[in-house]
Amino acid sequence: MKSKPKPQVKKVVLAYSGGLDTSVIVPWLKENYGCEVVCFCADVGQGDEDLQGLEQKALKSGADQFVLHDMKEEFAGEYLFPMLKMGAVYEHKYLLGTSVARPLIAKHLVDVAHEVGADAVAHGATGKGNDQVRFELTVMALDPRLKIIAPWREWEIRSREDAIAFAAKHNVPVTATVKSIYSRDSNLWHLSHEGGLLEDPWNEPEEVMYQISASPENAPEQAEYVEIEFDCGNPVAVNGERLSPAKIVECLNAIGGTHAIGRVDLVENRLVGMKSHGVYETPGGTILLYAHRELESLVLDRETMHFKEMVAVKYAEIAYNGLWFTPLREAMDAFVNATQGPVTGTVRLKLYKGNIISAGRTSPFSLYREDFATFGQEDVYDQSHAEGFIRLFGLSLKVRALNGLPVSGLNMPQPDYSRFKRD
């Protein structure tokens, strides 16, 4: 089988993190495509340590230009909070920290390509993972004219050892060592861990792996209360202090991490068809999701809440699969925003050794009526009315039994339908 010819590229913008993979991609691109390389770094809240010295590192690796965008507030307000309002969680556990960041990074990747006059973009996602899909679908949606280069699907590098050897050969400054066992992704919302002993799902994660959350055993012996205020579904204040979207997440990350909140161990179904085992730390996001659900339980009617729960499953799949810039996601956002007006009020939570415990919720749009809910009041609710309701609600069950039809696998005689015919 003939190898596919490489496209002609003059300038490429690389989604650059400064890690081992993207560092060696810089000289590889110049060597294999003979093009200018612009390193683009997205600040999505991964921390100052990860960003320090990146420009110098990129240029020493052979980059012609370095571009950094601070996207923390955009990330929180336009990506995390819409997902929060929907209540989207992938496979019951994963709060989609990496998934939802990729479309944003790819959007800015396209923007930078336009700004610098590039005809291609590149990323360091592997051919076995989800990120390649998320990056490339976004580029296809926003500018299909851009060429996409995915080195992991082209080059001969097949291991961490290969990458380290390539870096040494090309004088690329990297700090990675063969002994580094975990693959991590960090942003404002979460920190993920993959690889190492996690490749066997029977293994319990080692405590030294965690970086932003205390263990339940080492968490404070004293519980801490936190109050979160919402306006139309969006969190706007923590403990009475109004903060920007990114600052709210940062604040709750610190509080939640102290109390061991937000640790998740998950075997998930990747988009590409295989299962993977990962561990996530999402302290602030876990608190916000819990608080938002508590407030919705107070203000949303039953039909809206239950339908929204069904839609949230699909929304999570869309975010996980990289289909953020699609008409369906936009339509689903329109739906959820129409439900969020009454999601206004305050929730009080108690945090203790990995647990979140409800301690109060209030809203001017509350649908809860004590006079209806109390067992002692008969002037607003006549309990005798329930009899007729139950008879109608259970009529189909009654008819089924009268007809002698099987229930729960029980063998019952076939009914004589002639008895029920009308003249």
Note the pLDDT tens digit of each residue in 23-69.
999 999 999 999 999 999 999 999 888 898 999 999 999 999 999 99
C-alpha separations of 241 from 229, 237, 340 in Å: 9, 5, 22
Handedness of CA 29, 33, 37, 42 (dihedral sign): negative
Handedness of CA 30, 33, 35, 40 (dihedral sign): negative
- C-beta neighbour count of 376 within 10 angstroms: 5
Residues 246-269 have a mean pLDDT of 98
What pLDDT was estimated at residue 103? 97
pLDDT at 420 over 80: no
Phi, psi of 268 (to 5 degrees): -115, 160
Residues 210-238 have a mean pLDDT of 98
pLDDT at 251 over 50: yes
pLDDT (tens digit per residue) in 127-156: 888 999 999 999 999 999 999 999 999 998
pLDDT (tens digit per residue) in 286-344: 999 999 999 999 999 999 999 999 999 999 999 999 999 999 999 999 999 999 999 99
234-238/224-231 β-pairing: antiparallel
Question: What are the chain's domains?
Answer: 11-71+100-180 (3.40.50.620), 190-300+342-362 (3.90.1260.10), 373-410 (no CATH)
Residues 1-28 have a mean pLDDT of 87
Q: Is 363 helix (H, G, I), strand (E, B) or coil?
A: coil
What pLDDT was estimated at residue 176? 59
What's the half-sphere exposure (Cβ side, CA atoms, 13 Å) at 53?
9
- C-beta neighbour count of 25 within 10 angstroms: 30
Residues 390-399 have a mean pLDDT of 89
CA 384 to chain centre: 47
Cβ contact 125:132 at 8 Å: yes
Cβ contact 369:381 at 8 Å: no
Taking the model in full, what pTM does it have?
0.90
Phi, psi of 264 (to 5 degrees): -135, 130
Q: Which residue has the tokens 């929730």?
A: 347
What is the spatial order of strands in the sheet that 183-186 belongs to? 183-186, 191-194, 275-281, 263-269
344-363 burial by CB neighbour count: b if 16+ within 10 A, else e?
Answer: bbbbbbebbbbebeeeebeb
Using CA atoms, how far apart are residues 127 and 59, in angstroms rounded to an integer?
A: 27
Catalytic residues: 21, 102, 131, 183
- C-beta neighbour count of 291 within 10 angstroms: 26
- C-beta neighbour count of 38 within 10 angstroms: 24
pLDDT band of 415, cuts 50, 70, 90? low
- Return mean pLDDT, the chain: 92
Would you state the torsion angle of the CA atoms of residues 27, 30, 32, 34, taken in this order, to the nearest 10 degrees? Answer: -170
- The share of the chain scoring above pLDDT 70, in percent, equals 91
How many residues are listed for the chain in this entry? 423
